A = this chain, B = another copy of it.
Amino acid sequence: MSTTTPLLAQLTETAIRARRAARILTVSSTEQKNAAITAIAEKLRKNTPRLLEANEQDIAAAKARGLSTAMIDRLRLTPERMEAMAGGAMQVARLPDPVGVVLERWTRPNGLEIIKKSVPIGVIGIIYESRPNVTCDAAVLCLKAGNATILRGGSEAFHSNTAIADTLEEALAEAGLPGAVSFVPTTDREAIPLLCSLDKYIDVMIPRGGHGLISTVVEHARMPVIKHYNGICHVFVERNANLKMAEEIIVNAKCQRPGVCNAMETLLVDAPVAAAFVPQIAARLKKEGVEIRTDAETRKAYPELASPNNADWDMEYLDLIMNLRVVEGVDAAIEHIEQHGSHHSDSIITEDKAVAEKFLNAVDSAAVYWNASTRFTDGSEFGFGAEIGIGTGKLHARGPMGLRELTTYKYQIVGTGQVRK
């Protein structure tokens, strides 16, 4: 208690400040918001030397801790990456304002006019583990949608995140929006459950990261949580598939970028085409350097599947490793996906329209594909301009979460003195 109390007081103060900024942002014009984003981009460019210095501290600490080359590369800021960050902000400034859109409008028999209008959500808490550019990218997207943000990044990027956040703060104060972006200036893990208790000030939490992070937020949050969790994505090659098309889609879904959430983890092959297709796809994937895991029985039937490792149907490999399972028909495929999928992205390859429609309707995922790669579940591939992530929950923002998904709505009702009978 003695250690959490000052931290709680500090976080509460941050949250109250964010709430105040959110009230100003709600009634800010598109021009005001774009001016603030432009100020951020300019300040990032100006402060680049200082930001690279701060980043050097994180890199040195990461090396000292023996982090992998890949992780260190993800942490690293370079002049090019700084320019990409500033350029990304300017792209968001050019996107249409998602706030104030009349979503619906109707008049009741008593003459009341009801207008359903998009409005900012308010204060958004973003808890993330990934690269330092998230600090800027997420804050700018939220800002464009009229929201204040409270950011809490991973400890390994702490110096970089703090320097970026200071830069944003500086720009926003000059633009008349102090407190619109706050960064939690501590690596104390206790900060996460404490933030999650501040539902009086924070309207929604967006956690982005691994199981531990998501689980902590889901367990403690009193406000709604929009999860960006894992993708255990499936491709099902149905008996009426064009097998050449299936091959290209599978290779794309697994290999084009294996480390992301919309990459395929499990291939389901319909039994009647397994004898023809399994050797074909195994040979192709071998060339691509993919390890295919399955069960003992299938390995026996298809010696091409050389890996001695058993499949883990519930695993998100995020690597050139995948599962293969032979199933009997579309119902068995749907059942497997219901049991082991993560409701993210799943695809059926078939030339049979009726079977495809059954799959599209029954599979309970944010994005369900027919004859296309799962890799398209992405804000820019959907045409949203930018995205803050891929929602894996059921409500509010399912699938790619763009600017529009960073708003909510209210009803404005215009009368001439109506009272209820």
Query: What residue in chain B is nearest A373 (Cβ atoms)?
Result: B419
Contact A418 B366 (CB under 8 A): no
CB distance from A97 to the nearest CB of B (A): 14
Contact B410 A365 (CB under 8 A): yes
B residues near A398, Cβ cutoff 8 Å: 408-411
Interface segment out of the listed A42-50, A176-184, A276-284, A389-397? A389-397
Task: State A409–B399 Cα separation when bound (angstroms).
Answer: 10
CB distance from A370 to the nearest CB of B (A): 5
Contact B383 A408 (CB under 8 A): no
Query: What residue in chain B is nearest A378 (Cβ atoms)?
Result: B420
Residue of B23, B367, B419 touching A252 (CB-CB under 8 A) = B419
Contact B224 A367 (CB under 8 A): no
Most buried by B among A253, A377, A420: A420
B residues near A396, Cβ cutoff 8 Å: 224, 395-396
Contact B372 A112 (CB under 8 A): yes
CB distance from A384 to the nearest CB of B (A): 11
Residue of B248, B395, B418 touching A372 (CB-CB under 8 A) = B418
Residue of B108, B371, B413 touching A370 (CB-CB under 8 A) = B413
Contact B360 A419 (CB under 8 A): no
B residues near A338, Cβ cutoff 8 Å: 23
Q: Mark A254-297, 1 if CB is under 8 A from B, else 0.
A: 00100000000000000000000000000000000000000000
B residues near A415, Cβ cutoff 8 Å: 369-373
CB distance from A262 to the nearest CB of B (A): 9
Contact B23 A383 (CB under 8 A): no
Contact A412 B375 (CB under 8 A): no
Query: What residue in chain B is nearest A197 (Cβ atoms)?
Result: B219
Q: Does A355 contact B (CB under 8 A)?
A: no
Contact A413 B367 (CB under 8 A): yes
Residue of B371, B381, B394 touching A414 (CB-CB under 8 A) = B371
Contact A361 B395 (CB under 8 A): no
CB distance from A330 to the nearest CB of B (A): 12
CB distance from A263 to the nearest CB of B (A): 10
Contact A364 B26 (CB under 8 A): yes
Most buried by B among A381, A393, A418: A418
Residue of B204, B372, B414 touching A413 (CB-CB under 8 A) = B372
Q: Does A249 contact B (CB under 8 A)?
A: yes
Q: Does A6 contact B (CB under 8 A)?
A: no
Residue of B121, B224, B370, B375 touching A419 (CB-CB under 8 A) = B375
Task: State A292–B113 Cα separation when bound (angstroms).
Answer: 31
